[in-house]
Amino acid sequence: MDRRKKAPHVACAQQLVNSGLRGKARWLAVWFALLSFSPSAAEPANAPQPDLSAESYIEWRGGTLAPAGTLEIDGRRMDCGQYPTVLDPDYADFGGAYARFLVLNPQRFGGLASPVKLWIYSHECAHQTVGSDEVKADCAAVHRGRREGWLTASGLEQICEFMRPARQDRQHFGGAQRCELMQKCFRQDNKPLRR
Ligand SMILES: [Zn+2]
């Protein structure tokens, strides 16, 4: 797949393009367990508004709404305060952060290891507090993983492996450098390493 594909909007860590597309139904069953669903309604594209809501996004692009506090990733409830998540299988990246909600692409998540999924979600969530700074979002996601207990040293290795092919672009360092910076964040927490 084209790894140079440009991610939209805040375009995150996930400028990589996964090669293993999987069925939406399978993904919904296996990957996310949502407490509620809303029907998706694909509409012809219009220009997104800066204050776009999750509901407006769904009307615009399609997708499924996971209201704030209802998202589970591989059995773990993940929240981002008041911000809901739109699950959009056509989103051009693994995930993204809009001002009032997050977007995840279930198709691209299908084959990823749990720590990678949790880290991506946490990275996108972190944009709600650190703004567009990608290094800070990476680091905040690592700290969150350690704090919540889902990120171990081996999990970070999986994230680094996932990031390795990522190229540098205007917003992001290359994958190797991002990995190095995240390892530094990991060590800052100064907790015993678990494997
Ligand atoms: Zn980002």
DSSP letter string over 106-117?
HHHHTTS-HHHH
CA of 126 to the centre of ligand 1 (A): 8
What is the tens place of the pLDDT at every residue in 84-118?
999 999 999 999 999 999 999 999 998 899 999 99
Domain membership of residue 11 (yes or no) is no
Domain membership of residue 7 (yes or no) is no
Percent of the chain at pLDDT > 90 equals 63
pLDDT at position 43? 31
CA of 173 to the centre of ligand 1 (A): 11
CA of 166 to the centre of ligand 1 (A): 13
Domain membership of residue 16 (yes or no) is no
CA of 68 to the centre of ligand 1 (A): 20
Domain membership of residue 121 (yes or no) is yes
Domain that includes residue 132, residue range: 24-188
Domain membership of residue 12 (yes or no) is no
CA of 109 to the centre of ligand 1 (A): 16
CA of 2 to the centre of ligand 1 (A): 19
Domain membership of residue 38 (yes or no) is yes
Highest mean pLDDT among 46-55, 150-159, 162-171: 150-159
- Higher-confidence residue of 193 and 40: namely 193
pLDDT at position 172? 84
Domain membership of residue 8 (yes or no) is no
**121, amino acid identity:** Y
pLDDT at position 170? 83
Band of residue 48 on the pLDDT scale cut at 50, 70, 90:
low
The pLDDT of 39-49, averaged and rounded, is: 39
pTM, 2 dp: 0.75
pLDDT at position 169? 85
Which residues have a Cβ under 8 Å from the Cβ of 132 and sit 6 or more positions away?
A: 10, 171
- Overall number of domains in the chain: 1
CA of 9 to the centre of ligand 1 (A): 10
CA of 31 to the centre of ligand 1 (A): 22
Domain membership of residue 171 (yes or no) is yes
- Higher-confidence residue of 179 and 20: namely 179
